[in-house]
Structure 1
Protein backbone atom coordinates (compact mmCIF):
# COMPACT_ATOMS: atom_id res chain seq x y z
CA UNK A 1 0.00 0.00 0.00
CA UNK A 2 2.82 2.36 0.80
CA UNK A 3 4.39 1.87 -2.66
CA UNK A 4 1.11 2.76 -4.38
CA UNK A 5 0.82 6.07 -2.48
CA UNK A 6 4.41 7.15 -3.08
CA UNK A 7 4.23 6.33 -6.81
CA UNK A 8 1.09 8.46 -7.15
CA UNK A 9 2.86 11.52 -5.68
CA UNK A 10 5.90 10.86 -7.85
CA UNK A 11 3.78 10.65 -11.03
CA UNK A 12 1.75 13.81 -10.35
CA UNK A 13 4.65 16.11 -9.53
CA UNK A 14 6.97 14.74 -12.19
CA UNK A 15 4.31 14.78 -14.90
CA UNK A 16 3.72 18.48 -14.21
CA UNK A 17 7.46 19.19 -14.39
CA UNK A 18 7.79 17.20 -17.63
CA UNK A 19 4.82 19.02 -19.18
CA UNK A 20 6.13 22.46 -18.18
CA UNK A 21 9.65 21.52 -19.36
CA UNK A 22 8.28 20.37 -22.72
CA UNK A 23 6.52 23.68 -23.35
CA UNK A 24 9.57 25.68 -22.23
CA UNK A 25 11.69 23.80 -24.79
CA UNK A 26 9.10 24.30 -27.56
CA UNK A 27 8.81 28.03 -26.85
CA UNK A 28 12.61 28.45 -26.67
CA UNK A 29 13.11 26.66 -30.00
CA UNK A 30 10.39 28.78 -31.63
CA UNK A 31 11.99 31.99 -30.33
CA UNK A 32 15.42 30.98 -31.65
CA UNK A 33 14.02 30.00 -35.06
CA UNK A 34 12.00 33.22 -35.35
CA UNK A 35 15.04 35.30 -34.45
CA UNK A 36 17.24 33.52 -37.02
CA UNK A 37 14.54 33.93 -39.70
CA UNK A 38 14.09 37.65 -39.09
CA UNK A 39 17.83 38.40 -38.98
CA UNK A 40 18.71 36.39 -42.09
CA UNK A 41 15.96 37.58 -44.47
CA UNK A 42 17.52 39.95 -46.99
CA UNK A 43 14.32 41.59 -48.17
CA UNK A 44 11.80 41.20 -50.94
CA UNK A 45 12.56 39.55 -54.26
CA UNK A 46 10.39 42.01 -56.18
CA UNK A 47 8.45 45.01 -54.94
CA UNK A 48 5.31 44.26 -56.94
CA UNK A 49 4.79 40.70 -58.16
CA UNK A 50 1.81 41.66 -60.35
CA UNK A 51 3.84 44.20 -62.33
CA UNK A 52 6.68 41.69 -62.76
CA UNK A 53 4.23 39.04 -63.97
CA UNK A 54 3.11 41.42 -66.73
CA UNK A 55 6.72 41.56 -67.98
CA UNK A 56 7.10 37.76 -68.10
CA UNK A 57 6.73 37.39 -71.90
CA UNK A 58 9.30 40.15 -72.46
CA UNK A 59 11.71 38.28 -70.17
CA UNK A 60 11.14 35.10 -72.18
CA UNK A 61 11.93 36.99 -75.39
CA UNK A 62 15.15 38.32 -73.90
CA UNK A 63 16.13 34.81 -72.80
CA UNK A 64 15.55 33.44 -76.32
CA UNK A 65 17.61 36.23 -77.89
CA UNK A 66 20.38 35.62 -75.37
CA UNK A 67 20.39 31.87 -76.07
CA UNK A 68 20.54 32.57 -79.82
CA UNK A 69 23.90 34.30 -79.33
CA UNK A 70 25.43 30.93 -78.49
CA UNK A 71 27.98 32.40 -76.12
CA UNK A 72 29.68 30.14 -73.59
CA UNK A 73 31.09 31.51 -70.36
CA UNK A 74 33.17 30.48 -67.41
CA UNK A 75 33.40 32.56 -64.23
CA UNK A 76 35.90 32.08 -61.41
CA UNK A 77 38.18 34.02 -59.07
CA UNK A 78 41.96 34.11 -59.12
CA UNK A 79 44.19 33.77 -56.05
CA UNK A 80 43.76 37.49 -55.29
CA UNK A 81 39.92 37.20 -55.41
CA UNK A 82 39.56 39.15 -58.70
CA UNK A 83 36.62 37.88 -60.72
CA UNK A 84 37.58 36.42 -64.09
CA UNK A 85 35.23 35.80 -67.01
CA UNK A 86 36.03 33.80 -70.13
CA UNK A 87 33.65 34.28 -73.08
CA UNK A 88 33.54 32.22 -76.27
CA UNK A 89 31.05 32.36 -79.12
CA UNK A 90 29.26 29.43 -80.70
CA UNK A 91 32.29 28.59 -82.89
CA UNK A 92 34.64 28.64 -79.88
CA UNK A 93 36.25 31.99 -80.79
CA UNK A 94 36.89 34.54 -78.05
CA UNK A 95 34.22 37.21 -77.61
CA UNK A 96 36.33 40.36 -77.96
CA UNK A 97 35.58 43.99 -77.28
CA UNK A 98 32.64 43.55 -74.93
CA UNK A 99 31.69 45.91 -72.14
CA UNK A 100 31.32 43.86 -68.96
CA UNK A 101 29.79 45.09 -65.74
CA UNK A 102 28.88 43.03 -62.71
CA UNK A 103 27.31 43.37 -59.29
CA UNK A 104 28.34 41.06 -56.48
CA UNK A 105 25.60 40.55 -53.92
CA UNK A 106 25.77 38.79 -50.60
CA UNK A 107 23.18 35.96 -50.67
CA UNK A 108 21.56 37.07 -47.42
CA UNK A 109 21.98 40.80 -47.91
CA UNK A 110 24.34 41.12 -44.95
CA UNK A 111 26.96 43.05 -46.92
CA UNK A 112 26.59 45.94 -49.34
CA UNK A 113 26.52 45.19 -53.07
CA UNK A 114 29.86 45.58 -54.85
CA UNK A 115 29.87 47.04 -58.36
CA UNK A 116 32.56 45.57 -60.61
CA UNK A 117 33.84 46.80 -63.94
CA UNK A 118 35.64 44.13 -65.89
CA UNK A 119 38.43 44.97 -68.30
CA UNK A 120 39.52 42.80 -71.20
CA UNK A 121 42.90 41.40 -70.19
CA UNK A 122 43.27 39.44 -73.42
CA UNK A 123 40.76 38.41 -76.11
CA UNK A 124 37.76 36.81 -74.46
CA UNK A 125 39.15 37.08 -70.91
CA UNK A 126 37.81 39.79 -68.63
CA UNK A 127 39.09 40.61 -65.12
CA UNK A 128 37.38 42.73 -62.45
CA UNK A 129 38.80 46.02 -61.27
CA UNK A 130 38.15 45.20 -57.61
CA UNK A 131 38.57 42.16 -55.40
CA UNK A 132 35.76 40.34 -53.67
CA UNK A 133 35.91 39.97 -49.91
CA UNK A 134 36.10 36.41 -48.62
CA UNK A 135 32.81 34.57 -48.47
CA UNK A 136 29.99 33.55 -50.73
CA UNK A 137 28.75 36.02 -53.37
CA UNK A 138 26.15 35.97 -56.11
CA UNK A 139 27.35 37.63 -59.30
CA UNK A 140 25.01 39.30 -61.78
CA UNK A 141 26.99 40.05 -64.93
CA UNK A 142 25.88 42.08 -67.95
CA UNK A 143 27.90 41.69 -71.14
CA UNK A 144 27.22 44.14 -73.99
CA UNK A 145 28.74 43.91 -77.46
CA UNK A 146 27.41 45.25 -80.77
CA UNK A 147 24.00 46.04 -79.25
CA UNK A 148 23.73 42.44 -78.07
CA UNK A 149 23.38 41.87 -74.38
CA UNK A 150 23.88 38.80 -72.26
CA UNK A 151 22.96 38.48 -68.59
CA UNK A 152 24.84 35.92 -66.55
CA UNK A 153 24.50 34.74 -63.00
CA UNK A 154 27.08 32.82 -61.00
CA UNK A 155 27.86 31.98 -57.42
CA UNK A 156 31.36 32.60 -56.11
CA UNK A 157 32.73 31.05 -52.89
Structure 2
Protein backbone atom coordinates (compact mmCIF):
# COMPACT_ATOMS: atom_id res chain seq x y z
CA UNK A 1 0.00 0.00 0.00
CA UNK A 2 1.21 3.40 -0.93
CA UNK A 3 1.38 6.08 1.56
CA UNK A 4 -0.40 9.05 0.08
CA UNK A 5 -0.48 12.39 1.75
CA UNK A 6 -3.84 13.97 1.71
CA UNK A 7 -3.80 17.49 0.30
CA UNK A 8 -3.76 20.14 2.94
CA UNK A 9 -7.02 22.04 2.93
CA UNK A 10 -6.99 25.40 4.66
CA UNK A 11 -9.98 26.35 6.66
CA UNK A 12 -11.93 29.53 6.01
CA UNK A 13 -11.84 31.34 9.31
CA UNK A 14 -13.20 34.52 10.78
CA UNK A 15 -9.85 36.16 10.04
CA UNK A 16 -10.30 35.52 6.29
CA UNK A 17 -13.84 36.90 6.35
CA UNK A 18 -12.66 40.01 8.19
CA UNK A 19 -9.85 40.62 5.69
CA UNK A 20 -12.26 40.31 2.74
CA UNK A 21 -14.68 42.81 4.30
CA UNK A 22 -11.89 45.26 5.20
CA UNK A 23 -10.42 45.03 1.67
CA UNK A 24 -13.84 45.60 0.11
CA UNK A 25 -14.53 48.74 2.13
CA UNK A 26 -10.96 50.01 1.58
CA UNK A 27 -11.56 49.84 -2.18
CA UNK A 28 -14.98 51.57 -1.88
CA UNK A 29 -13.62 54.37 0.32
CA UNK A 30 -10.58 54.86 -1.95
CA UNK A 31 -12.72 55.13 -5.08
CA UNK A 32 -15.07 57.58 -3.34
CA UNK A 33 -12.17 59.78 -2.25
CA UNK A 34 -10.68 59.83 -5.76
CA UNK A 35 -14.04 60.64 -7.35
CA UNK A 36 -14.74 63.38 -4.80
CA UNK A 37 -11.33 64.93 -5.57
CA UNK A 38 -12.09 64.87 -9.31
CA UNK A 39 -15.50 66.44 -8.72
CA UNK A 40 -14.15 69.24 -6.56
CA UNK A 41 -11.25 70.03 -8.87
CA UNK A 42 -13.32 70.22 -12.08
CA UNK A 43 -16.51 72.05 -11.07
CA UNK A 44 -16.75 74.96 -8.69
CA UNK A 45 -20.45 74.39 -8.03
CA UNK A 46 -21.30 77.96 -9.02
CA UNK A 47 -24.00 78.38 -11.63
CA UNK A 48 -24.63 82.05 -10.87
CA UNK A 49 -22.67 84.15 -8.42
CA UNK A 50 -25.74 85.68 -6.78
CA UNK A 51 -29.08 83.94 -7.27
CA UNK A 52 -31.07 86.91 -5.91
CA UNK A 53 -29.57 89.32 -8.45
CA UNK A 54 -30.10 86.74 -11.20
CA UNK A 55 -33.77 86.42 -10.25
CA UNK A 56 -34.18 90.21 -10.45
CA UNK A 57 -32.76 90.27 -14.00
CA UNK A 58 -34.75 87.28 -15.25
CA UNK A 59 -37.51 89.27 -16.98
CA UNK A 60 -34.92 91.54 -18.58
CA UNK A 61 -33.10 88.48 -19.94
CA UNK A 62 -36.35 87.13 -21.38
CA UNK A 63 -37.00 90.45 -23.14
CA UNK A 64 -33.48 90.43 -24.60
CA UNK A 65 -34.07 86.89 -25.87
CA UNK A 66 -37.32 87.96 -27.58
CA UNK A 67 -35.55 90.89 -29.24
CA UNK A 68 -32.77 88.61 -30.47
CA UNK A 69 -35.29 86.19 -31.96
CA UNK A 70 -36.95 89.07 -33.78
CA UNK A 71 -33.70 89.72 -35.70
CA UNK A 72 -34.05 86.29 -37.28
CA UNK A 73 -30.33 85.65 -37.23
CA UNK A 74 -29.04 82.09 -37.19
CA UNK A 75 -25.64 81.23 -35.78
CA UNK A 76 -23.99 77.97 -36.81
CA UNK A 77 -22.13 75.74 -34.40
CA UNK A 78 -18.55 76.91 -33.91
CA UNK A 79 -15.93 74.85 -35.75
CA UNK A 80 -12.14 74.89 -35.96
CA UNK A 81 -10.43 76.00 -39.14
CA UNK A 82 -6.63 76.01 -39.10
CA UNK A 83 -6.50 76.46 -35.34
CA UNK A 84 -9.04 79.29 -35.22
CA UNK A 85 -12.74 79.46 -34.39
CA UNK A 86 -15.13 79.83 -37.32
CA UNK A 87 -18.83 80.78 -37.22
CA UNK A 88 -21.39 81.28 -39.98
CA UNK A 89 -24.14 83.83 -39.37
CA UNK A 90 -27.21 84.17 -41.58
CA UNK A 91 -30.07 86.65 -41.51
CA UNK A 92 -33.84 86.13 -41.52
CA UNK A 93 -33.83 85.24 -45.24
CA UNK A 94 -31.06 82.64 -44.73
CA UNK A 95 -28.66 84.96 -46.56
CA UNK A 96 -25.17 85.61 -45.21
CA UNK A 97 -25.11 88.35 -42.58
CA UNK A 98 -22.77 90.98 -44.04
CA UNK A 99 -20.80 93.61 -42.15
CA UNK A 100 -21.49 92.43 -38.62
CA UNK A 101 -19.00 92.78 -35.80
CA UNK A 102 -18.29 89.63 -33.83
CA UNK A 103 -16.35 89.25 -30.63
CA UNK A 104 -16.23 86.47 -28.10
CA UNK A 105 -14.85 85.43 -24.78
CA UNK A 106 -13.41 81.90 -24.75
CA UNK A 107 -13.75 80.10 -21.43
CA UNK A 108 -12.57 76.66 -20.48
CA UNK A 109 -15.74 74.78 -19.44
CA UNK A 110 -14.33 73.80 -16.06
CA UNK A 111 -12.25 76.93 -15.44
CA UNK A 112 -8.79 75.41 -15.84
CA UNK A 113 -7.46 78.53 -17.57
CA UNK A 114 -8.37 82.18 -17.53
CA UNK A 115 -10.91 83.40 -20.11
CA UNK A 116 -9.55 85.35 -23.06
CA UNK A 117 -11.02 87.54 -25.80
CA UNK A 118 -11.38 86.63 -29.47
CA UNK A 119 -12.04 89.07 -32.30
CA UNK A 120 -13.53 87.89 -35.58
CA UNK A 121 -13.12 89.03 -39.17
CA UNK A 122 -15.38 88.21 -42.08
CA UNK A 123 -13.58 85.99 -44.58
CA UNK A 124 -16.45 84.99 -46.85
CA UNK A 125 -20.11 85.82 -47.04
CA UNK A 126 -21.39 85.26 -43.52
CA UNK A 127 -18.29 83.32 -42.46
CA UNK A 128 -16.45 84.86 -39.52
CA UNK A 129 -13.07 83.54 -38.34
CA UNK A 130 -11.24 84.49 -35.15
CA UNK A 131 -8.12 86.61 -35.48
CA UNK A 132 -6.49 84.96 -32.46
CA UNK A 133 -5.76 81.23 -32.42
CA UNK A 134 -7.85 79.00 -30.20
CA UNK A 135 -5.88 76.47 -28.13
CA UNK A 136 -6.73 72.78 -28.52
CA UNK A 137 -9.40 71.29 -26.31
CA UNK A 138 -12.98 72.08 -25.46
CA UNK A 139 -13.99 75.73 -25.08
CA UNK A 140 -17.18 77.67 -24.43
CA UNK A 141 -17.46 80.76 -26.65
CA UNK A 142 -19.66 83.60 -25.40
CA UNK A 143 -20.26 85.45 -28.66
CA UNK A 144 -21.62 88.98 -29.22
CA UNK A 145 -22.82 89.83 -32.72
CA UNK A 146 -23.52 93.47 -33.53
CA UNK A 147 -24.90 95.02 -36.70
CA UNK A 148 -26.15 98.61 -36.74
CA UNK A 149 -28.33 98.94 -33.61
CA UNK A 150 -29.04 95.21 -33.31
CA UNK A 151 -27.08 92.79 -31.21
CA UNK A 152 -27.23 89.15 -30.29
CA UNK A 153 -25.53 87.08 -27.61
CA UNK A 154 -25.05 83.35 -28.07
CA UNK A 155 -22.98 80.64 -26.46
CA UNK A 156 -21.36 77.92 -28.54
CA UNK A 157 -19.15 75.01 -27.53
CA UNK A 158 -16.18 74.12 -29.66
CA UNK A 159 -13.95 71.04 -29.45
Q: TM-score, normalised by structure 2?
A: 0.86
Q: Which residue of 2 aligns with 1:151?
A: 153
Q: Which residue of 1 aligns with 2:87?
A: 85
Q: Is the 8 A contact 1:100 1:141 kept in 2?
A: yes
Which of structures 1 and 2 has the bigger CA Rg? 2
Q: 1:26-56 deviations in whole A, cap 9, x for unaligned?
A: 2111111111112112462211111101111
Per-residue deviation, 1:112: 2.0
Query: If each structure's helix is expressed as a fraction of its own residues, which one has the higher value?
Result: 1
Using the TM superposition, name which of 92-101 and 133-142 deviates more. 92-101
Matches within 5 A, 1:1-157: 7=11, 10-42=12-44, 44-74=46-76, 75-78=78-81, 80-157=82-159
SS of the equivalent of 1:47 reads: coil
Aligned residues: 149
Unaligned runs of 5+ in 2: 1-9
Q: 1:5-35 deviations in whole A, cap 9, x for unaligned?
A: x85xx33111111121122112111111111
- The CA distance in 1 between the partners of 2:94 and 2:40, in whole Å, is 47
Q: TM-score, normalised by structure 1?
A: 0.87
Per-residue deviation, 1:114: 2.3
- The CA distance in 1 between the partners of 2:59 and 2:127, in whole Å, is 32
CA RMSD of aligned residues (A): 1.6
- The CA distance in 2 between the partners of 1:71 and 1:124, in whole Å, is 11
